[in-house]
Amino acid sequence: MARLRLRDEALLLGLAGLVTGASCAGPRGGSEYRFLADADTNEERFLTGATRKEADRKADDPAGRLEWPGPPDEPRVRYLGEFRSSEDVGARTGNWFERVLFGEESGHALVTPQSVAVGSGWAAVADPNVGVHRFSPRGDYELLRSFVEAGPSGQREGSAGGSGGASAPVAVTAVGGETLWVSDAAAGCVFVLQGQGRARELGRGVLKRPGGLAYCPVSGVVRVADAGGHEVVLFDLEGRLVGRVGRRGAGAGEFNYPSHVATAADGRWAVADSLNFRVQVFDADDRFIMQVGGKGNAAGNLALPKGVAFDADGNLWVVDAQFENVQAFDREGRLLMAFGQEGHGPGEFWLPSGMCIDEKNRMWVADTYNRRVQVFLILREGSGADGDD
């Protein structure tokens, strides 16, 4: 089994060592295709490495699909594609005059993508070394950066386009159709972006090192995993502090550097309790329900859980940055499947981090050290190889 390495936040926490992971089922299917829209929609596709006609042909050809697990098991996950830069969404850099004189620029590439959020007709990627990439399938693209800058009084103010102040956006989440919340680990706060212009700031003095965050429509709050405070902090949509869950420890409802959080449609929520090697699940009223994972190398164990998300059936999906795979658990915490291994191909990962699952049951994974986001379709149980409901 492959030697797995610790980097990312694990290095920051002073961890080092070698861990071996459980083997995962290999993919079925052959050639790779890359597009991020469902075949039965009218959305524009993000294409890389293939023409639109070629991508459509492979999408309709079962022999060209990559799916996990392999036969004889029924597939549960289908590879859709990846993107690495603004060019992959059709965005062009510079104005027409600059392009005539100097040619096309290389575009804005992902450097260390750590978190993904999908809203109404757009997606955003938190890249702490660059900023926040926001784009749409139509080819619209903008890079949001330098959220913290010096104002007229010398005080730091939130901005989506300034050039001053330390800023390290590490996580994003969609709140409603257009609003984007961004965790900034360097600034120690969260920024709220609504359209263009200045960002609203919240949580300064409350949060120590904010990480993953997730909106819960059931309770109307945004939960923020505060790794530095070993707790999950709750804000309402006006930015007011409305609750705190947890303290440092290894018991139920206690955390050791929590990194990511996710919310299910029924109000349940999960937090990656990273250095306790587990994910904890709570109900909508913040009462502990169960934990999944635990330290070890057996199926269902976790080594460094990071991104978490719930699918349309309420199953919990977990990215493990050290095992470099994705695992799925049902509502009772039973392991359903795992896929992925260290590598650079489709369905392989190199220290992955955040993830999200959108309303179309597409799973978006920040494959951090491969400098890309990979996208998969979660197939409903009993849908068969074609993925039809």
**Does residue 356 lie within any of the structural domains?**
yes
The C-alpha angle with vertex 201 and arms to 195 and 204, in degrees rounded to 5, equals 160
* 81 or 383, which is more confident: 81
Q: Amino acid identity, residue 25?
A: A
- Domain-located, residue 276: yes
Residue 383: predicted pLDDT: 60
Give the pLDDT of residue 41.
Answer: 42
Does the pLDDT at position 42 exceed 80? no
Residue 383 lies in a domain: no
* Burial of 42 (C-beta count, 10 Å sphere; 0-12/13-18/19+): exposed
Number of domain units in the chain: 1
- Angle formed at CA 292 by CA 302 and CA 267, multiple of 5 degrees: 130
pLDDT per residue over 246-259, tens digit each?
A: 999 999 999 999 99
Mean pLDDT of 27-39: 36
| Boundaries of domain holding 299 | 8-378
Residue 311 in 3-state DSSP?
coil
Q: Which token pair is 220?
A: 């109307």
**Residue 197 confidence class, pLDDT cut points 50, 70, 90:** low
Question: Is there a domain that residue 297 lies in?
Answer: yes
Write down the pLDDT at residue 107: 64
- 387 domain residue, yes or no: no
Q: Hey, what are 384's tokens?
A: 């068969």
Let me know: does 25 contact 73? Beta carbons within 8 Å: yes
Better pLDDT: 319 or 52: 319
Question: Which pLDDT score is estimated for 348?
Answer: 98
Question: What does the pLDDT read at residue 194?
Answer: 81
Specify the pLDDT at position 137.
Answer: 63
Give the model confidence (pLDDT) of 361-376 as tens digits.
999 999 999 999 999 9
C-alpha span between 291 and 281 (Å, rounded): 6
Residue type present at position 127: D
**pLDDT of 163 over the 80 cut:** no
Closest of 18, 23, 68 to residue 322, by C-alpha: 18
By mean pLDDT, which of 198-207, 324-333, 351-360, 371-380 is the weakest? 198-207
CATH number, position 281: 2.120.10.30
Residue 35 clears pLDDT 50, i.e. is over it: no
Q: What residue type is assigned to position 153 of the chain?
A: S
Residue 270, CA distances (Å) to 35, 39, 310 in order:
29, 31, 9
Q: Considering Cα of 262, then 264, then 267, then 268, what sign does the dihedral take? A: negative
Identify whether 12 is part of a domain. yes
Q: What is the pLDDT of residue 331?
A: 97
pLDDT at 7 over 60: no
Question: What does each C-alpha distance from 21 to 18, 100, 256 come to in angstroms?
Answer: 10, 51, 22
At 235, which helix (H) or strand (E)?
Answer: strand 231-236
**Could you give the CA distance from residue 225 to residue 228 in angstroms, rounded to a whole number?**
9
Percent of all residues in the chain with a pLDDT value above 90, rounded to a whole number: 61
Residue 209: inside a domain = yes
Strand partners, 317: 309, 328
Choose the weakest-confidence range: 53-57, 114-118, 240-244.
53-57
Domain presence at residue 386: no
| pLDDT value of position 120 | 79
Q: What is the mean pLDDT of residues 20-42?
A: 36
Residue 332 pLDDT > 50: yes
Q: Which of 19-33, 145-159, 267-281 has the highest mean pLDDT?
A: 267-281
For 188: left if phi > 0, alpha if psi spans -120 to 50, otherwise beta; the answer is: left
Helix ranges (H only) for the chain are 8-12, 52-60, 96-102
In order, the DSSP letters of 125-179 are EEETTTEEEEE-TTS-EEEE---EEE-TTS-EEE-SS---S---EEEEEEETTTE
